[in-house]
């Protein structure tokens, strides 16, 4: 119960990786506030949780700055502070860059990068006042090494990695840890809507562990970075990919 009494925001907790993170952190005693555009899915996550902590759900549209402000204000009004933030929400649409609609680029940037930046800026004052806090951004190995058919998506995730490292330097004086987790191919609803069976099998063959990642694999990495055993870890990029990508 090392996260008991911690107030942690998890965006994208309605399904997939975000859901697994929310449930795991709450299971270790945290009070988790899910922010998601899919409020029905987020509420279902909250309702199905059973454990020592607690899970709440509030509507959040990361592409809408006013929604981000409203969400953060509601969290502060209800809980009085924020101890941890996991920016897990994001989306992707696979396709050749040359055929991308520029509107897709704008939405990818708005949700995957600017949404996380806006929410982070709004919750930081609470952490700075406490001289403590943990922020974990969920990027992607696409942002580290590139990914065919995901060029714009990879750009947003690469930006999130750079944002994480720079913010970690700024926030170190306040004892706030800022890190990033980069999942590889992970068996989520989003992945299953984008990947053909042929691609799925090809990825499994390429991954040294010979399986896709599970949302719980990523959640375990986030749990480490949110807990006390990572207090001296900041500005780091942790790949959770079964060995698919290795950078020296």
Chain segment 145-186, per-residue pLDDT in tens: 988 889 999 999 999 999 999 999 999 999 999 999 999 887
Average pLDDT, the chain: 93
Q: Residue 155: phi, psi to the nearest 5?
A: -60, -40
pLDDT at 49: 95
- 169's tokens: 């330097």
Extents of the domains making up the chain: 7-230
For the cut 90, the answer to whether the pLDDT of residue 199 exceeds it is no
What would you measure as the largest C-alpha separation in the chain, in angstroms?
Answer: 51
pLDDT at 243: 80
Taking the C-alpha atoms of residue 4 and residue 113, their distance in angstroms, rounded to an integer, is 30
Query: What whole-number distance in Å separates Cα of residue 113 and Cα of residue 84?
Result: 18
Q: For residues 59 and 70, what is the distance between their CA atoms, to the nearest angstrom?
A: 9
Local structure of residue 172 (DSSP, 8 states) = G
Given pLDDT bands bounded at 50, 70 and 90, which one contains residue 1?
A: confident
Reply yes or no on domain 7-230 having CATH 3.40.50.720: yes
What is the edge-to-edge ordering of all strands in the sheet holding 7-11?
Answer: 54-59, 31-36, 7-11, 84-87, 133-138, 176-183, 237-240
Sequence-ordered list of residues with C-beta below 8 angstroms from that of 222, at least 6 positions apart, any chain: 21, 24, 25, 86, 88, 136, 138, 181
* Whether residue 90 has pLDDT greater than 90: yes
- Predicted pLDDT of residue 247: 67
pLDDT reported for residue 14: 95
SS3 of the chain: helix, strand, coil, percent, to 5: 50, 15, 30
Active site residues: 153
Least confident of 96-105, 186-195, 209-218: 186-195
User: What's the pLDDT score for residue 73?
Assistant: 98
Q: What is the pLDDT of residue 248?
A: 54
Q: What is the mean pLDDT of residues 42-54?
A: 94
Mean pLDDT of 43-59: 95
Q: Which residues contact residue 147 at a Cβ distance below 8 angstroms, ignoring those fewer than 6 apart?
A: 140, 141, 153, 154
Q: How long a stretch of residues is the chain? A: 248
| pLDDT tens per residue, range 123-152 | 999 999 999 999 999 999 999 998 888 999
Residue predicted with more confidence, 26 or 210: 26
Question: What is the CA 72 to chain-centroid distance, rounded?
Answer: 16
């Amino acid at each position: 119960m090392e996260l008991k009494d911690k107030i942690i925001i998890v965006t994208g907790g309605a399904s997939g990786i975000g859901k697994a993170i929310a449930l795991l952190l709450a299971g270790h005693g945290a009070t988790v506030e899910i922010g998601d555009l899919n409020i029905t899915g987020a509420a279902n996550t909250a309702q199905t949780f059973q454990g020592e902590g607690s899970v709440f759900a509030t509507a959040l549209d990361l592409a809408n700055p006013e929604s981000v402000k409203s969400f953060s204000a509601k969290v502060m009004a209800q809980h009085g502070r924020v101890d941890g933030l996991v920016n897990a929400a994001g989306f992707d649409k696979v396709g050749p860059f040359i055929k991308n609609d520029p509107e897709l680029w704008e939405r990818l940037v708005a949700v995957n990068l600017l949404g996380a930046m806006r929410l982070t800026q709004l919750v930081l004052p609470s952490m700075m006042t406490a001289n403590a806090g943990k922020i974990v951004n969920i990027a992607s190995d696409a942002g580290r090494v590139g990914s065919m058919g995901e060029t714009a998506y990879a750009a947003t995730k690469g930006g999130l990695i750079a944002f994480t490292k720079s913010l970690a330097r700024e926030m170190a004086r306040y004892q706030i840890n800022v890190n990033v987790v980069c999942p590889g191919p992970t068996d989520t609803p989003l992945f299953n809507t984008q990947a053909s069976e042929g691609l799925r099998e090809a990825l499994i063959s390429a991954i040294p562990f010979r399986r896709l990642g599970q949302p719980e694999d990523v959640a375990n990495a986030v749990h480490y970075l949110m807990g006390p055993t990572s207090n001296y870890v900041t500005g780091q990029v942790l790949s959770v990919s079964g060995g698919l990508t290795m950078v020296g």
